Amino acid sequence: MRKIVLSIAGVLIIILGIFLSKQIVDSKTRTKPRVEKVVKTVFTQTVTNGTVAIIVPANGNLTAKRRVELFAEVQGVFKKGNKLFKAGQPYSAGETIIRIDASEYYASVQSAKSNLYNLITSIMPDLRLDYPEVYPKWQAYLSNFDMDRTTPALPVMTTENEKYFISGRGIQTNYYNVKNLEQRLSKYTIKAPFSGILTEALVTEGSLVRSGQKLGEFINTDVYELEVAVSKTFSDLLKIGEVVNLVTLDRNKTYKGKVTRINGSVDQATQTIKAFIEVSDRDLKEGMYLEANLNAKQETNAIEIDRNLLMENDKIFVVRDTILDLIDVKPVYFSNKKVVLKEVPDGITIITKPVVGAYAGMLVKVYQGETAQNIEQ
């Protein structure tokens, strides 16, 4: 009897547990989460087509327009001058930069000049007797002959007899030998062809200089040139004499330059044309890196926008009644950050900042703050 009662009680407890569990499960109601529709805010501008100046960026390093590499044409010991032969040393036009010891060679030149003088002196008695009409000019030549100065040019010979007589005595041959020696003697001294500064010095005073040895480099610091490579697309748009804005790498200084030369050939490797921009300023130094903005063309009926707004290279997003849409455009010029577009209808509203996940038909909200403005070129 007791077992029967316990069995019935166990079954009742199990049934009661199942019933209570079902009640607990049914009492727990799940509410579906409410999905909120997010409408993104976009920045827009109204298009007004106009004239866009196409600026072609280029860059390069400055080089002196006038520069001279100094080479020795003779051999000798480099003599000390009035100024130290060091990089950064300025020289005026005509001032001696380099002097090479020419004592031995100078003696040879003086000996040759003395021989010429003696030779002319020896014919003077014959000239006086045979050609008295030309004697005075040769006498004047001897009177003006100075051993310490450059040999003067021979008198002009006016008659055939005079030419035969002078040539037969070997005077012309001796004269040109002397002039040749004097010309070589002048190579022992190198003078500044223009006012400038020594940028490279490869020898020092007292060292032996050999013929053909490079001694240094001398530049004029008044005018510099910037060599830039421009795409061949704009080769017919660049003009000589056009003013160009030049800026330093840190954008702290701006200079005005002028296009002076344009190369007539295209670089086959890069398909670019080299243009040379002349610039002058006391703050400029050779080797400085500058960026140039060349005014290549004025594109009419166009607008300029950021490159990251261009989709698939020929489409942009517009807003039509809070709905995004894509329209076809015609890009005419790309720069690093901007693109110039044509065939964009006037009055249409375009976005000015990229929208993540944007697609045609997307619902958006137009921002009405201060950044909304017209595009006017």
Domain covering 56-63+221-297, topology: Elongation Factor Tu (Ef-tu); domain 3 (2.40.30)
Name the percent of the chain lying above pLDDT 90: 35
Count of CB atoms within 10 A of residue 156's CB? 8
What pLDDT digit, counting tens, does each position of 200-219 carry? 999 998 899 999 999 999 99
What pLDDT digit, counting tens, does each position of 27-79 carry? 655 555 565 567 788 888 888 898 888 777 888 899 999 999 999 999 999 99
Name the percent of the chain lying above pLDDT 70: 89
Lowest mean pLDDT, pick from 85-89, 268-272, 307-311, 350-354: 268-272
Per-residue pLDDT at 314 exceeds 70: yes
Q: Which amino acid is at 14?
A: I
* Domain 66-95+192-219 annotated CATH 2.40.160.40: no
**What is the H or E stretch that residue 176 is in?**
helix 171-185
Residue range(s) occupied by CATH 2.40.420.20 in the chain = 42-54+299-376
pLDDT band at 1 (very low <50, low <70, confident <90, very high): low
Region 294-320 average pLDDT: 86
131: left (phi > 0), else alpha (psi -120 to 50), else beta? beta
Distance CA 126, CA 171 (A): 14
Residue 234's contacts (CB-CB under 8 Å, 6 or more residues apart) are 56, 294, 296, 297
Q: What separation, in Å, do the N-terminal and C-terminal C-alpha atoms of the chain show?
A: 105
Predicted local distance difference test score (pLDDT) of residue 117: 93
Predicted local distance difference test score (pLDDT) of residue 64: 93
**Which tokens belong to 11?**
């079954």
Predicted local distance difference test score (pLDDT) of residue 373: 45
Structural class in CATH, domain 42-54+299-376: mainly beta
Predicted local distance difference test score (pLDDT) of residue 368: 74
Residue range(s) occupied by CATH 2.40.30.170 in the chain = 56-63+221-297
Q: Is 123 exposed, middle or buried (0-12, 13-18, 19+ CB in 10 A)?
A: middle
